[in-house]
Structure formats: structure tokens, C-alpha cells
Chains A and B, each alone.
Chain A
């Protein structure tokens, strides 16, 4: 089973709202990722968690706040977003390893976020 689930599928929020995106995997993976994908563009890495600790932050604005409560769950808390933050937000997971073959990332279906 290589399934990564994400909720909600769609989210519409105002610029003053606070919302959260959720991601879950049950493959025993110890690395989890958030990506942002604008229309007609490739995904861009935002955050990497390894063993529940934030290991990579790609200089993402503080209005995006990631959280990894346990090895299976990854959240992305949203606050005071801008319309340009509207995008598809993808979660992925992989085995955390020095071996490239085990570094395959498996993606969830994404959350389509619209900021009004």
C-alpha cells in the first residue's frame, strides 16, 4: 500500500481565516513533505520533516506553519494567507534513508486551496 491521504480536497478561505491541511500515511515512512504547486508549474518544496522534526524549510513565509504530531501525520496550518497563495498543496512521504532507492516519494492527491 503506497497511499498518502490528504484532507480536505478543496478549501476556500478568506485572508483573515485560520485553517489547516492534513496529511496521513501508514507506510511506516519517516520523512514527510509539503509541496506547493501553482497552475501549469512543477511542485515546489516547502518543508521536509524527518523523524517528526523539521529538517528543511525552503524559506517559506511564516503564514504557513507545519506540524508533525507523529510519524504518520503531517499538518499545515494556514493563517493570514494572500490570494497568491492559492494553489494545489501536495503532501508526500518517503523512507528516510541514505539509500536513494528508498528515497522514493509517494504523493497524496492534494488539497486545492483558494484564498479570496
Chain B
């Protein structure tokens, strides 16, 4: 079974500082990996995804993530935090069920607090 572990349930960064959110996965097959962001009282918004190809993936709002197979990691970064980045971030791995759609397994989430 596939699983995802997010290190750190809370991260506090200063505005303008680097944002680094850690995600490690466990998968017996090449994984499809996703980062989603959830603002308070809202649904999940896709930030970026890795399926195949380039291991450095760029997403929306200045975020990017690097797939490292040797480390089974998919960490999310943003060079300079903005107040609007305060939210909950979820890393997820996708498992296909033949033609039945796919099942997302989420990590526990990391809440980001941005200090002025």
C-alpha cells in the first residue's frame, strides 16, 4: 500500500523567508505525487503534481517541488513567503484502480503560519 508522511504538522516562517515543507512517500511502483493547499473553510486547490519526466516541478503561486526517487521525497519549496501563503498543505500519492478512477492517499498535512 502507498503512504505519505509529512514531517512537521506546523511550520512558522517569516514573510520573505524560504518555505520548505517535507513529504516522504512509500510506494512499490512509480508514484504520482501531488501537493494541494487548503485555505480556511475552503476546498483543496492543486499546487503542482509529478507524474513522469522532469523531476523539478513548478506550480502555482511560486511553489515548486523536486521528486527524488533515491530519497523517496517530494519536498515543497517557495523562495520567499508571502502572508497569503498561510494555509494547510497536503502531500498526496495517487493509486490507480484500473479504470475505476484513482485513490489519493494524503499525508497528515502541514499548517503554515507566516509572521510579518
Contact = CB atoms under 8 A, between A and B. Distances in A.
A103 B44 contact: no
A16 interface: no
Contacts of B46: 2, 104, 106
A48 B96 contact: no
Given A42-B90, A90-B44, A33 B34 contact: no
Interface in A50-92: 50-51, 55-56, 90, 92
A31 B108 contact: no
Interface in B82-103: 90, 94, 96-103
B41 interface: yes
A105 B45 CA distance: 10
A90 B43 contact: yes
Nearest to A53: B100
A19 B107 CA distance: 31
Interface string B12-28: 00000000000000000
B108 A55 contact: no
Contacts of B108: 41-42
A107 B41 contact: no
Q: Which 10 A-B pairs have the closest CB atoms?
A: A31-B101, A55-B100, A42-B106, A100-B32, A101-B51, A103-B102, A107-B44, A107-B43, A109-B43, A50-B100
